[in-house]
Chain A
Amino acid sequence: MNWNTILIRYGEMSLKGKNKSKFVRKLKENIKVALSELTTLKMRAERDRMFVYTERLEELDRAIEILPTVFGIQSFSPIAICEPTLEAIKETSLKVLGKTETEGKTFKVDVKRTNKSFPLDTGELQQELGGHVLRAFPNLIVKMKKPEILLYVEIQREAAYISSHTFKGAGGMPVGSNGHSLLLLSGGIDSPVAGYQMMKRGVAFDAIHFASPPFTSDLALQKVEDIVRQLTKFGSTIRLHIIPFTQLQQAIIKQVPSNLTMTTTRRMMMKIADRVREETGALGLITGESMGQVASQTLESLTTINEVTSTPVLRPLIAMDKLDIIQIAEKIETYEISIRPFEDCCTVFTPPSSKTKPQLEKVRYYESFESFDEMVEEAVSNRTTVIPSQNKEEAFDDLL
């Protein structure tokens, strides 16, 4: 028996007809990046599934830990490979089951026979194997519907694959298989979740963050970098564009009545983001807006703010409750980072009250007195771009 392989089943993309090979290629790439720390790893992709091999058991275990974070995988199973003979299959089945807790569990044998010349047919084989397993593990209870242990046997011409455990994958589609966008990342709880949701649908992205030094600190920036670093774990590398926003923000406060500063600020952010999107060749903008959550996220506000661009603005959280968003944030481990208590550019100059129904005409009127477009261009060209690496430098090693 050779216990060195993981069988990966594709998610939704197995439906995607002619584009499928593109999706598979992307998934293979993403898995390769996700498992890059495993040095002995080899991969083989087929039309409907993928195999990952390694000769080292601890690398196999590590792969099992990492794979559930990769989008585009529906499920995966560690498999044992043996000769395609009845004796070998029987023997290997017992070994595979010996690795799982069988006491009092329900169980079923499922056989797939690609090699039709195999002497027994599927039904006979199922019976033969089931009987053999039950003699060895009398504590198992046979159950056809939803068994706890499914002994899966697949017989091919050159080998038989046997597995007893299937891990659930992250679902969704391979990141990057649905184009590239730009995520507006404040550092709050919502925007990282919005990014995650889009990644799940195969969208890769750069991130953009507005910084207002000296009112916001390096720690706020650090926080955003940490969020990006965390999001990187679910897909490809993410570039982070940091926009110097202080000057523009001060001009807005000077020029626009205080109950509309928020609206204009958002409009400027949208303009800047759209320009960066254009320069990076991205297709859409992603925001963490959720209907009615704050003054800027009423339908009236969204309309007034959205007016500055015709680029599709993807708002995956628009119909989600805050508590559900928090739940995802906790699951993807951005929540703990997001609640670090640093001011961001949106909270630095909070007006006493903001219009929940800003009128576009008035906003345009006040904005017309200042050359905001030039300032937008300046902010775009003065941005700094960083790639927060996944392997953060390990400090304090000598102390601990």
Chain B
Amino acid sequence: MYFDHSATTKTDERVLHTFMEVSTTYFSNPASLHAAGKQAEKLLEKARSQVLATLGLELTEGVFTSGGTEANNLAILGYVYANQHKGRHLLTTAVEHPSVLHAFKYLETQNFTVDYLTVDSEGRISLAELQSFLRPDTLLVSIMHVNNEIGTIQPIAECAKIIHSQSRAVLHSDCVQSFGKIKLDDEQNCPDLVTLSGHKIYGVKGSGFLAYRKNIRLHAISYGGGQEKNLRNGTVSVPHAAALAKAARLQVEEANIQQFQQWRDELVQFFSGIEDCLVLAPQASAPYIVTVAFRHVTGEVVVNFLQERGIFVSTSSACSSKKSGVSHVIEAIRLPKDFEKGVIRISFGKDQTTDEIHQLKKAVHQFMQLLKRGIRK
């Protein structure tokens, strides 16, 4: 029973079919002059416009990347390098994905000033704080849409409105966890750069995308033959591009968010009823992520216990779970000390069943019984 869809998903067979078909039939280099190359280029361009269309925002440009991490790096480093004459102040949140956070950490070593927005106990930023941090020389603001560890949804449209009306800065948003599930529903008040990833929506790993507004200038972060408007050098992988477009379309057409919401409500109620257990971001979280914390146990113990019963959940985010200690997101929401090492994340996917939810509840119940005995002793 797989409850770790926010870490990654199983590739949909239809997406895989596209990947194979394109790899064998339209394998030509889209930069080649001959007819087969042009065919591949046409397919590539159609894939690009399809990804942009599923996003449904005022963004008309896009670059295919190797994944969310590269797209985040290209957005942040690429924008900052191309526009650094406009200012040296940057703004992001304390709860971003490491591929955003570490890009900013690097820029701090290059004489840029970075401010980090704090969050409340549910992981939400404050618009008032955003407003107070904006400066005339603020170049770029990066705010994720849905947090990968605790699921918090940030008010991106409001952020965009504030940033665009009160500063010269542009807004980048890491939408890896929300793409195809929660729409940025304000077409106009949308970020200027948006990061997407394929493998969280049943696409193939190694496929990502950076969408951006037409007037945005970016600088390459790697050098080569000038592909993808010289922003992403190296032979373009048309199979990855087509697979991402296919995955995006299927996700938008088939996502069943209402079902996720029901399960989430059920689990939130269940965990809230357990002593020594806290639901993180109970109000602010996306419908497909339930993160809970146990008192005086480590998340790893919970993961191991559930795993023995064939249930896969993760300790906060898979990316950082190999390191010991407490994640930066958990620190940022100031979880009480005796809870902060006991965090697990449950995330739903499209093949999930209600029966699995019940089995999960049962297993957690057993775990709590065991724990009680342990503590009493």
Chain A residues with a Cβ under 8 A of chain B = 217-219, 222, 341-342, 395-396, 399-400
Contacts and interface: CB of A to CB of B under 8 A. Distances in A.
Interface residue SS majority, chain B: helix
A400 B33 contact: no
B249 interface: yes
A399 B33 contact: no
A400 B245 contact: yes
Contacts of A399: 18, 21-22, 43, 242, 246
Contacts, number: 29
A399 B50 CA distance: 12
A219 B242 contact: no
Given A399-B242, A400-B18, 10 more contacts: A217-B35, A219-B33, A219-B38, A342-B33, A399-B18, A399-B43, A399-B246, A400-B46, A400-B50, A400-B249
9 contacts: A217-B35, A218-B35, A341-B33, A395-B43, A395-B46, A396-B46, A396-B242, A400-B18, A400-B242
B290 interface: no
Nearest to A104: B165
A395 B40 CA distance: 12
B358 interface: no
Contact of B42 (A217, A218, A342, A395): A395
Contacts of A396: 42-43, 46, 242
A217 B242 CA distance: 27
B47 interface: yes
Nearest to A340: B38
Nearest to B39: A395
Nearest to B241: A400
A219 B46 contact: no
A396 B38 CA distance: 13
Contacts of A400: 18, 46-47, 50, 242, 245-246, 249
A61 to B, nearest CB: 12
Interface string B31-59: 00101001000110011001000000000
Interface of B: 18, 21-22, 33, 35, 38, 42-43, 46-47, 50, 242, 245-246, 249
Contacts of A217: 35
Nearest to B18: A399
Contacts of B35: 217-219
A395 B42 CA distance: 9
Contacts of B38: 219, 222
Closest 6 CB pairs of A and B: A400-B245, A399-B18, A396-B43, A400-B50, A400-B246, A396-B46
Contacts of B21: 399
B189 to A, nearest CB: 11
A395 B26 CA distance: 13
A338 to B, nearest CB: 16
A395 B38 CA distance: 13
A358 to B, nearest CB: 33
A219 B50 CA distance: 24
Nearest to A395: B42
A216 to B, nearest CB: 12
Contacts of B33: 219, 341-342
A17 to B, nearest CB: 42
A400 B51 CA distance: 10
Nearest to A218: B35
A21 to B, nearest CB: 40
A219 B34 CA distance: 8
A41 B70 CA distance: 47
A218 B33 CA distance: 11
B239 to A, nearest CB: 10
Contacts of A341: 33
Contacts of A342: 33
Contacts of B50: 400
Which of B33, B42, B50, B242: most chain A CB closer than 10 A? B33
Contacts of B249: 400
A314 to B, nearest CB: 32
Which of B21, B46, B50, B245: most chain A CB closer than 10 A? B46
A396 B42 CA distance: 9
A396 B245 CA distance: 11
B57 to A, nearest CB: 16
A347 to B, nearest CB: 14
A399 B15 CA distance: 9
Nearest to B33: A341
A399 B241 CA distance: 11
Contacts of B245: 400
A222 B41 CA distance: 14
Contacts of B22: 399
Nearest to A400: B245
A217 B47 CA distance: 26
A116 B33 CA distance: 69
A395 B44 CA distance: 12
A342 B46 CA distance: 21
Nearest to A397: B46
B254 to A, nearest CB: 15
Contacts of B242: 396, 399-400
A23 B18 CA distance: 51
A217 B249 CA distance: 35
B192 to A, nearest CB: 19
Contacts of B46: 395-396, 400
Contacts of B18: 399-400
A63 B43 CA distance: 29
A222 B245 CA distance: 25
Contacts of A218: 35
A341 B226 CA distance: 15
B23 to A, nearest CB: 11
Contacts of A395: 42-43, 46
Nearest to B249: A400
A388 to B, nearest CB: 16
Nearest to B21: A399
A182 to B, nearest CB: 29
A396 B21 CA distance: 11
A395 B33 CA distance: 20
Contacts of A222: 38
Nearest to B246: A400
A303 B242 CA distance: 53
Nearest to A103: B165
A400 B54 CA distance: 12
A98 B249 CA distance: 35
Nearest to A342: B33
A134 B180 CA distance: 42
A226 to B, nearest CB: 11
B68 to A, nearest CB: 21
A210 B172 CA distance: 48
Nearest to B50: A400
A179 to B, nearest CB: 36
A217 B33 CA distance: 10
